[in-house]
Amino acid sequence: MAPGDTAGMTAGPIAVTVEEVPAGLTYPLRGAVLRPGRPVEIAGDDEPDTFHLAARTPAGQVVGVVRFHPAACSWRPDARAPWQLRGMATDPAVRGTGAGRALVAEGLARVAAAGGDLVWCDARVAAAGFYERMGFAVVTEPYEKATVGLHLGMVIQLSPRG
Ligand SMILES: CC(C)(COP(=O)(O)OP(=O)(O)OC[C@H]1O[C@@H](n2cnc3c(N)ncnc32)[C@H](O)[C@@H]1OP(=O)(O)O)[C@@H](O)C(=O)NCCC(=O)NCCS
């Protein structure tokens, strides 16, 4: 391999910064990782309460994205202020280096600061272990979602119930 030719190399740990961004900035990675062949926009992307986060490398490259928005949770109807996590994706080149964790941690902190008491998601089965590492718990049997495959309902409680 020629010096400086890093194509195809596995990335080592990288420092990412996480910040709130307009929905459109998350679309290239969201589309490529989660929605190939499907519209990249998700209903509610531009709602005032929805927020989108991006993880960037020091060079400014977006290597992770996620969105959070207030939404009722059918598995936790007693939740006072539930929010949904959607559109979670990291660049395959940085997986396992903490970008996903940084995004979820920042999102949960922001939801808690906004008064949310619970965050839930339809977790792809292959990603359930990641959400468990973030503190989420599985609360459903596996269920099918059209065109995407098996999912598990997962929740994390942010403040005591009641
Ligand atoms: C799931 C995904 C977002 C994880 O992102 P990531 O950048 O690799 O996450 P991190 O590096 O921050 O990992 C945090 C921890 O979770 C673990 N982890 C990551 N992915 C995991 C997985 N699929 N299963 C089990 N554990 C996982 C990591 O090993 C790490 O463990 P640690 O606590 O010991 O450090 C990423 O793999 C992805 O984009 N997958 C494809 C899209 C997808 O499935 N999105 C979710 C849709 S519901």
pLDDT digits (tens, 9 = 90+) for 61-79: 999 999 999 999 999 999 9
Rounded alpha-carbon distances, angstroms, from residue 6 to 11, 95, 115, 130, 138: 9, 17, 44, 27, 39
Using the mean position of ligand 1's atoms as its centre, give its distance from the Cα of residue 3 in Å: 31
CATH code at position 75: 3.40.630.30
Helices (H), the chain: 23-34, 99-113, 128-133
In a domain, 117, yes or no: yes
Structure tokens at 147: 């065109």
- Give this prediction's pTM: 0.92
Burial 81-119 (b: 16+ CB within 10 A, else e): ebbbbbbbbbbeebbebbbbbbbbebbbebbeeeebbbb
pLDDT classification of 6: cutoffs 50, 70, 90: very low
Nearest protein Cα to ligand 1, atom 4: 100
- Domain annotation covers residue 140: yes
Tokens at 143, concatenated: 């269920």
- Whose Cα sits closest to atom 24 in ligand 1? 129
Q: Which residue lies with its CA nearest to atom 29 of ligand 1?
A: 96
In a domain, 162, yes or no: no
2 within domain boundaries: no
The ligand 1 site (C-beta within 6 Å) comprises 33-34, 88-90, 95-101, 123-124, 126-127, 129-130, 133
Mean pLDDT of 80-107: 97
List Cβ neighbours of 47 (8 Å cut-off, separation of 6 or more): 69
Strand, coil or helix: what is 124?
Answer: strand
7 falls within a domain: no
Whether the CB-CB separation of 85 and 121 falls below 8 Å is answered with: yes
- Residue 137 counted as domain residue: yes
Output the average pLDDT for the chain: 92
Domain that holds residue 102: 17-157
Number of domains in the chain: 1
CA 65 – ligand 1 centroid, Å: 12
Which residues neighbour 147 within 8 Å (Cβ) at sequence distance 6 or greater?
A: 38
Determine the pLDDT at residue 100: 98
Nearest CA to ligand 1 atom 22: 130
